[in-house]
Amino acid sequence: MSSGKENMETVYKESRPQLQEISWEDVMILSSKVAKAILSGSYRVDAIIGISRGGIIPARIISDMLLVRDFYVYGIKYYSGINERDEIKVVQKPEGNFKNKNVLIVDDIIDSGKTMAFVKKELEDEAASVKLAALLKKPWSEIEPDFCAGITDKWVV
């Protein structure tokens, strides 16, 4: 007969999502893939917005690769833990003027897609155009990025 503790450990192990580790080198490689995809197309980026926290570093790398100096941060809180989501809460809005600009919104991972959809909707009326970029996306995402380096179904750490 098994103990209650063993049963709890089994349930925890089975419900825990698979993890995917991303190194700094991986971030550089994935950011480079996104930047190359943008450069190979006709979209001219005037301003880049990184979604905090995870999108700030990829956005900065991509802005350097695209030689885009207009860089902003959009602070959003959505996750409270693995597979635990709260309501979208804006903690920092970019103070730039996006009128008539082609804006690229960058995040590290698009999971549900709700964060990207929210930020895109906030900027669409002001900007000339808004495109989305992510290093990775989940297969179940409700929104499709314009530029993405890969797909994963794991919890990225």
What CATH code would you report for 21-156?
A: 3.40.50.2020
Mean pLDDT of 18-30: 92
Q: From residue 42, give the alpha-carbon distance in Å to each of 37, 39, 102, 155.
A: 10, 7, 12, 33
Q: What share of the chain in percent tops pLDDT 70? A: 84
Strands 84-92 and 71-81, sheet pairing: antiparallel
Interatomic CA distance for residues 115 and 2, integer angstroms: 43
Terminal alpha carbon distance of the chain: 37
**pLDDT tens per residue across span 59-109:** 999 999 999 999 999 988 765 555 555 677 877 888 889 999 999 999 999
Q: Quick one: pLDDT band at residue 9, thresholds 50, 70, 90?
A: very low
Q: Which pair of structure tokens corresponds to residue 12?
A: 């925890």
Smallest CA-to-CA distance from 99 within 79, 128, 121 is with 128
Q: List Cβ neighbours of 59 (8 Å cut-off, separation of 6 or more).
A: 48, 49, 50, 51, 71, 106
Residue 154 predicted with pLDDT over 60: yes
Q: Quick one: pLDDT band at residue 37, thresholds 50, 70, 90?
A: very high
Q: Which residue has the higher pLDDT, 116 or 2?
A: 116
Q: Which residue has the higher pLDDT, 29 or 157?
A: 29
Region for residue 100 given its phi and psi (left: phi exceeds 0; alpha: psi -120 to 50; beta: otherwise): left
pLDDT of residue 86: 63
pLDDT of residue 11: 43
